[in-house]
Structure 1
């Protein structure tokens, strides 16, 4: 039982014994810095069941706690706030229980527990990954790691959108204008080469529209009748019919893109356990439409199209099968979800990392799956996130104005180099060590800047601001971690052990309180699917450590007991920073 649970139990008992009243819940808050105390009980909400002066009520409960709770050594009451002081022994016992535990805060999954599948990335194979994909990948990967740390078994997956008209546009442009060029012949990553032809298609398409408008067509008709678009649509029909030449070209160009994606994923430090391809899933789901028609979940209109009426649930009617019998995205998503459970019977829930423009789609998908009677559908979650903007404005893939993911990662490393060189922090490093460190700092800055924001909020990303070595940034936290490692190297072999005879400095106690919170923060972050809770906790921990570092002498302590304790306390802060950052996919440097 943690301290808050213990105090809650005894405060309720105090109210019962003293005032003969039942208290449903106890409200706590952190004690304000200007008052003595470690945790504060808020008395005002108790006035619903206990009549009287809040100060006198607080005094009576405080006296009860001192008498009955071993950990409580003193109290004071300020207006309606009961500030409780906790004995040092409580914090020292806590520290003894975690010291040296490299996995502190992490829970091992139970063998028979249901797994969670986390889907993220899921790109189209007609262009490279861009800044929007970066937020998606970082969020999905981090949430998967947090769920794992909270005690869940996790599968990371993506569905690669490798079919459709957008793929055929790149294929057709390469066929027309590519002159047989390849990633090898151009020196370009395959996804970038294919992306260039997606842009080329759009340029040629616009030219043809202008020509048709000049010949007297309306712009709307010109958009539908442009020869290059008609040819791309025909190519899609040929692909669906299994035309060998078209399928071979599709296989070759998708292969180039996959190779390019693999490099980007490696650079970003994200991975997957299982891959799904839209070319293999786009026909799934139709059989469940038939089942749903029989059970009354769906109904058929006169034209033969099949719909789901969700108006009683506050939504609208949703098409699940066109009149010609072809599937829509909703049909495919229904089929893919069911297929994943067939492939992984131990999966009991799924997290979909997809931008907030798809909020309604997922509301509908989850509701339909529930109506179809799938028990696991109640454990589906849409990890919805906002757009990422740059100071320069909005991105458009087809116009070639996106911020390429690889370029951004390189730019972050270059910015880290520039700032590190200005600060002169890397004396004595070899060139290879410097390059590796620039990557670690640059990528850490990028990931932290994006993940410290609540997923639902839109982000304005400023690369330079993210690499500041002061404030709520990745590099500031990495620098503090490196400082701790420096202390440990200088300390040599400080002893671990019991610390019963130590009188805690106020800054040591604050640091211990912060360390105590970590397991709960991991659980909250998992429950809320929010890496921001981990990021901002880590910043608070590091701020608390720096305050401790500035106010308490670690290596120059008055005696060996205090020195050993402070070294071990610093080491444990380092462990938690490393563990927390691993959940964000961020590496920490041993020196900086």
Structure 2
């Protein structure tokens, strides 16, 4: 039982003994900085049950706790707030218990527990990954790591949109204008090469539209009748019919893209346990719809299309099968979810990392799966996130104005190099060490800037602002970690291993211990809310608390050997938790900066 639960139980006990009343809830909060105390019991909500002056009630409960609870050293009451001072021994015992834990705060997975499947990235194979994909990947990867730290078994997956008219547009443009170019002949990553042809298609298509309009056709008709579009549609029909030449080109160009994606994923530091391809899944779900028809979950309209009526649930009617019998996206998403549970029978829930423009789609999907009777459908979650904008404005793939993920990673590394050189923090580093450090700082800046924001909020991403060595940034946190490692290197060996006994805690030591104590609850909260921002902002608060400790308390210069040893070990544990917090965000830490 942690201290909060323990105090809650003893406050209830006190109220029962003193007032013969049963409290349903006890409101606790951290004591305000301007009052003495560690944990505050809020008395005012008790007045619904207890009659009397809140100051007097607080005094009576405080006296009982001081007498009967060993962990409470003393108390004070301020206007109905009962402030409890927790004794030093409690915090020293706590520190002793976590001192040698290698993954403090992490929960050991239950081998019999249900798994969670986390889907993220899920790109199209007609263009490289861009800034929007970066937010998607970072969120999905971090949530997967946080769920693992909270004791869940996790499968990381993605579904790759590798079929459809947009893929055929790139293929057709390469056929017409590519002159046999390959990634090897051009020196370009395969996803970039294919993306270039998607842009070329759009430019040539627009030219054809203008020519048709100039010839007297109205613009809407011209957009439908442009020869390039008609040829792309014919290519899609051939692909669906299994035409050998089209399928062969499709396989070749998709492989170019996959090879390019793999490089980007490696540079970004994300990974996957499995892959699903839309070319395999787009026919899934049709049999489920037929079964749902038989059970009255779906209904057929006069034109032959199949629908579900969700108006009683506050949604609308949704088509699940077209009149010609072809599937819509909803159909294949139903089928893919069911297939995933067949592939991993231990799945108890799924997390879909998809932008907020798809909020309605997932409400409908989850509700349909529940109506179909799948128990795990109650544990589906849409990790919805806002767009990422740049100071220069919105990105458009067709027009080639997106911020390429690879280019952004290079830019972040370059920006980290420039700022690091200006600050002059790299004396004694080899060029190789500098390059690795720039990469760690640049990627850390990018990831932290994006993940510290609540996923639902839109982000205006400013690369230079993110690589700041002061404030709520990745580099500031990394720098504090490196400072701690410097202290640990300078400390003598005995300080790292001495047992800690009989010391009086400085208030800054106590505040740091309270911050460390919160880490397991923070992981649990981040997992429950699917929010890396909870971890990011906790880690920043821990770093601020450490820096306040560092400025107010001498670590290596402490007069007493026991105090010096304790402060070295405390700094070391703080460093470990900083590294753990950043690791859950996919961020590495440098040993020196």
Which secondary structure state, in structure 2, belongs to the residue aligned with residue 185 of structure 1? helix
TM superposition shift of 1:414: 0.2
Residue aligning to 1:352 = 352
Deviation at 1:22, TM superposition (A): 1.6
Partner residue of 2:427? 427
2:209 corresponds to: 209
The corresponding residue for 1:175 is 175
How far 1:35 moved relative to its partner?
1.1
The equivalent of 2:451 in structure 1 is 451
Name 2:580's counterpart in structure 1: 579
Q: Deviations over 1:431-462 (max 9, x none)?
A: 00000000000000000000000000000000
Displacement after TM superposition at 1:492 (Å): 3.2
Superposition pairs of residues 465-484 of structure 1, within 5 angstroms: 465-484=465-484
Q: CA deviation at 1:560?
A: 1.0
**Alignment check: 8 A CA contact 2:558 2:564 kept:** yes
Within 2, Cα distance between the matches of 1:224 and 1:495?
Answer: 73
Under a length normalisation based on structure 2, what TM-score does the superposition of the two structures give?
A: 0.99
Where does 1:29-44 land on structure 2 (aligned, <5 Å)? 29-44=29-44
Q: Equivalents in 2 of 1:172, 1:507: separation in Å?
A: 66
CA distance in 2, matches of 1:184, 1:344: 38
Distance (whole Å) between structure 2 residues aligned to residue 537 and residue 552 of structure 1: 22
Output the CA distance in 1 between the equivalents of 2:498 and 2:49: 47
Which residue does the alignment assign to 2:256? 256
Residue of structure 1 in register with 2:333 after alignment = 333
Q: Name the SS for the 2:402 alignment partner.
A: coil
| 1:285 positional shift | 0.5
1:156 matches 2:185: no
Q: 1:100: Cα distance to partner?
A: 2.0
1:165 is aligned to 165
Q: Could you tell me which residue of structure 2 aligns to residue 507 of structure 1?
A: 508
2:85 alignment partner, SS class:
strand
Q: Could you tell me how far 1:20 is from its partner in structure 2?
A: 1.8
Shift of 1:125: 0.2
Structure 2 Cα separation of the partners of residues 23 and 499 of structure 1: 39
Counterpart in 2 of 1:113? Answer: 113
Rounded to whole Å, the distance in 2 between the matches of 1:43 and 1:103 is 37
* C-alpha distance after superposition, 1:129-163 (max 9, x if no partner): 00000000000000000000000000000000000
Does the aligned pair in 2 maintain the 1:89–1:500 contact within 8 Å?
no
Counterparts of 2:32 and 2:119 in 1: how far apart (Å)? 42
Which SS does the other structure have where 2:518 is aligned? helix
Q: Which residue of 1 aligns with 2:321?
A: 321
Correspondence for 1:538: 539
Determine the structure 2 residue equivalent to 1:93.
93
What whole-Å deviation, never above 9, does each CA across 1:358-411 have from its counterpart, x for those lacking one? 000000000000001111100100000000000000000000000000000000
What is the match of residue 309 of structure 1?
Answer: 309
Which residue number in structure 1 is paired with residue 559 of structure 2? Answer: 558
Superposed, which structure 2 residues align to 1:481-496 within 5 Å? 481-493=481-493, 494-496=495-497
Alignment length, in residue pairs? 592
- What SS does the corresponding residue of 2:353 show, helix, strand or coil? strand
How does 1:23-172 map onto structure 2 within 5 Å?
23-172=23-172
Q: CA deviation at 1:108?
A: 1.6
The aligned residue for residue 382 of structure 1 is 382
Q: Is the 8 A contact 1:96 1:497 kept in 2?
A: no
Shift of 1:497: 4.9
**Uncovered stretches (5+) of structure 1, i.e. residues with no partner:** none
Mapping of 1:279-294 within 5 angstroms? Answer: 279-294=279-294
Distance in 1 (CA, whole Å) between partners of 2:81 and 2:120 is 46
Aligned equivalents of 1:117, 1:269: Cα separation in 2? 19
Aligned counterparts of 1:248 and 1:393: Cα–Cα separation in 2: 38
Give the Cα separation in 2 of the matches to 1:364 and 1:577.
Answer: 40
Establish whether residue 589 from structure 1 lines up as the match of residue 593 from structure 2. no
**For 2:107 and 2:326, how far apart are their aligned partners in 1?**
46
Contact 2:138 2:586 in 1 (8 A): yes
**Secondary structure of the corresponding residue to residue 129 of structure 1:** coil
Residues 1:528 and 2:529 are matched in the alignment = yes
Alpha-carbon distance in structure 2 between the residues aligned to 1:428 and 1:55: 61
Question: C-alpha deviations, 1:556-579, integer Å up to 9, x for none?
Answer: 111111011000000000110111
1:293 is paired with a residue whose SS is helix
